[in-house]
């Protein structure tokens, strides 16, 4: 009989982590050599332990860091800097574009699987994924692959993709609330009027110059578009619209004041 796979288990939900550990070890194919509840803990444990593979949730809450918490994908990237191609099986119940975007940008090529928690979390389904990751193979749940490609398509059509690098830099600083003068200083421009000209290019690329709006309104709308990285159009009454996943233009905010779902 083959020796059990030595596994680091990473999940911020204690009861689920306990259930996973018990279920995996009951198969006889896995020995859980360590656990972690946050991305930071996962990185630290990965450098301490002798292990064959990591089983890790993608969303990892960290009460001490809040929104800046390290995700499972970010933790895997950090671990692989020191331990190249460390096998990892990701799972997630989240359907947030940012996780798929982060995974696509991570550059992880082999020795991994990425699956939906609801589809593959039984021990009997995880064992083959863990073995494949250790063997250097990769697998992406078809549902996740569809969403990753959807996010890629959205990114290729994103407002930021319509800007040249210098325009993108100005838009970034504009979104931080800087004045034209401050942006000119930050970018070491000799003529602050260059910022105004660049703003005009940004407004034109994003359709803001086609509306009868003043500079302050255009600036505010450009800030919103840059921050959300999502094309928004406004009608004559100032109502904002965005495209949903079907390509339909829908109100950006619902009647309850909440952001419209994608």
Q: 190: which DSSP letter?
A: S
Give per-residue pLDDT as tens, 51-85. 999 999 999 999 888 878 899 999 999 999 999 99
Tokens of 248: 């339909």
Relative to beta strand 53-57, strand 30-36 is unpaired
For residue 30, give the H/E element and its range.
Answer: strand 30-36
Mean pLDDT of the chain: 87
Nearest 5 degrees, angle CA 227-CA 170-CA 196? 120
159-231 topology per CATH: Arc Repressor Mutant, subunit A (1.10.10)
Residue 114 predicted with pLDDT over 80 = yes
pLDDT at position 21, please?
A: 96
Count of CB atoms situated within 10 Å of the CB of 202: 24
Answer whether residue 155 shows pLDDT above 70: no
Reduce the secondary structure of 90-139 to three states and give it as a string: EEECCCCHHHHHHHHHHCCCCCEEEEEHHHHCCHHHHHHHHHHHHCCCEE
Domain extents for the chain? 5-155, 159-231
The pTM score is 0.62
d(CA 56, CA 88): 7
Q: Which CATH number is 5-155 given?
A: 3.40.50.2300
* Residue 209, both tokens: 């110059």
Quick one: pLDDT at residue 191? 79
pLDDT digits (tens, 9 = 90+) for 3-56: 999 999 999 999 999 999 999 999 999 999 999 999 999 999 999 999 999 999
């Amino acid at each position: 009989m083959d020796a059990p796979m030595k596994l680091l288990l990473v999940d911020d939900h204690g009861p689920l982590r306990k259930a996973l550990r018990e279920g995996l070890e009951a198969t006889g194919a896995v020995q859980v050599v360590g656990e972690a509840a946050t991305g930071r803990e996962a990185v630290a444990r990965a450098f301490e332990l002798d292990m064959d593979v990591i089983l890790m949730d993608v969303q990892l809450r960290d009460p001490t860091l809040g929104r800046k918490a390290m995700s499972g994908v970010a933790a895997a990237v950090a671990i692989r800097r020191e331990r190249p191609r460390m096998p990892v099986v990701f799972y997630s119940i989240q359907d947030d574009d940012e996780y798929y975007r982060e995974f696509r940008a991570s550059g992880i090529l082999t020795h991994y699987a990425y699956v939906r928690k609801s589809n593959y979390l039984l021990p009997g389904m995880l064992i083959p994924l863990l073995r494949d990751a250790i063997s250097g193979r990769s697998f992406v749940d078809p549902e996740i692959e569809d969403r990753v490609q959807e996010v890629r398509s959205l990114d290729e059509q994103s407002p930021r993709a319509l800007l040249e690098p210098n325009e993108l830099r100005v838009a970034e600083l504009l979104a931080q609330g800087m004045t034209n003068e401050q942006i000119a200083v930050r970018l070491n421009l000799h003529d602050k009027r260059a910022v105004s000209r660049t703003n005009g290019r940004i407004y034109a690329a994003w359709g803001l110059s086609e509306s009868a709006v003043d500079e302050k309104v255009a600036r505010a709308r450009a800030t919103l578009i840059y921050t959300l990285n999502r094309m928004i159009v406004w009608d004559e009454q100032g109502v904002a619209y965005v495209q949903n996943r079907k390509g339909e233009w829908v109100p950006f905010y619902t009647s309850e004041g909440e952001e419209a779902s994608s």
